[in-house]
Amino acid sequence: MLYTFDINEGSIVIKMSEEEDFLEVLKELPGVGNVTAKKLIEAGYVTLESIALSTPAELVVNAGVSESTAKKVINSARQKLNIEVTTAYEYYLKKKETLRITTGSKNLDDLLGGGIETQAITEIYGPYGSGKTQLAHQLAVTVQLPVERGGIERGCLFIDTEGTFRPERITQIAEAFELDPSEVLKHILYARAYTSDHQILVTAKAEKMLKKENIGLIVVDSLISHFRGEYTGRETLAERQQKLNKYIHMLLKYATGYNLAVLVTNQVMADPSTFFGDPTRPAGGHVIGHGVTTRLYIRRGKEGRRVIKLTKSPYLPEGAVEVLITDKGIVDV
Ligand code: GTP
Ligand code: MG
Q: Are residues 69 and 125 in the same domain?
A: no
Rg (C-alpha) for the chain, rounded Å, is 20
Per-run averaged pLDDT (10 residues), the chain, 333 residues? 37 49 85 89 83 85 92 87 60 70 98 96 96 98 98 98 97 98 97 96 93 96 95 89 93 92 92 62 87 95 95 92 97 96
CA 137 to ligand 1 center in whole angstroms: 10
User: Pick from 58, 80, 102: which residue ends a domain?
Assistant: 80
Residue 231 belongs to some domain of the structure: yes
Atom of ligand 1 nearest to the CA of 162: 2
Q: What is the largest CA-CA distance in the chain?
A: 65
Residue 87 belongs to some domain of the structure: no
CATH number at residue 70: 1.10.150.20
β partners of residue 189: 12, 157
Residue 251 belongs to some domain of the structure: yes
User: Pick from 51, 80, 109: which residue ends a domain?
Assistant: 80
The strand pair at 3-4 and 15-16 is best described as: antiparallel
Residue 299 contacts residue 124 (beta carbons within 8 Å): no
Q: Are residues 174 and 307 in the same domain?
A: yes
Residue 215 contacts residue 258 (beta carbons within 8 Å): yes
CA-based nearest residue to 154, from 292, 10, 258: 258
DSSP 46-83: -SHHHHHTS-HHHHHHHH---HHHHHHHHHHHHHHTT-
Structure pTM?
0.79
- Tell me the C-alpha to C-alpha distance, in Å, between residue 28 and each of 18, 42, 208: 16, 18, 18
Which residue, judged by its Cα, is nearest atom 17 of ligand 1?
A: 129
| Ligand 1 pocket, mutate which of 123, 130, 134 (most atoms under 8 A from CB) | 134
Q: Are residues 69 and 103 in the same domain?
A: no
Q: How many CA atoms lie within 13 A of 203 on its CB side?
A: 30
CA-based nearest residue to 100, from 164, 43, 150: 150
Residue 1 contacts residue 19 (beta carbons within 8 Å): yes
The pLDDT value given to residue 228: 92
Q: For residue 198, how many other CB atoms are within 10 A of its CB?
A: 15
| Ligand 1 pocket, mutate which of 103, 128, 133 (most atoms under 8 A from CB) | 133
CATH number at residue 250: 3.40.50.300
Residues with CB under 6 A from ligand 1: 126, 128-134, 164, 169, 267, 325-327
Residues, CB-to-ion distance under 5 Å, ligand 2: 132-133, 164
Domain count within the chain: 2
Q: Which domain holds residue 66?
A: 15-80
Residue 302 belongs to some domain of the structure: yes
Q: Are residues 120 and 268 in the same domain?
A: yes
Please give the distance of CA 118 from its chain centroid, rounded to a whole number. 10
CA–CA separation, 114 and 302 (whole Å): 26
Q: Are residues 236 and 104 in the same domain?
A: yes
Q: Are residues 262 and 177 in the same domain?
A: yes
The pLDDT value given to residue 9: 39
Residue 142, Cβ density class (10 Å: 0-12 exposed, 13-18 middle, ≥19 buried): buried
Residue 2 belongs to some domain of the structure: no
Residue 103 belongs to some domain of the structure: yes
Helix and strand numbers, DSSP H then E, in the chain: 15, 16
Q: Among all ligands shown, which has an atom nearest to the Cα of 139?
A: 1
Which residue, judged by its Cα, is nearest atom 21 of ligand 1?
A: 325
In a 3-state reduction of DSSP, which class is residue 107? helix
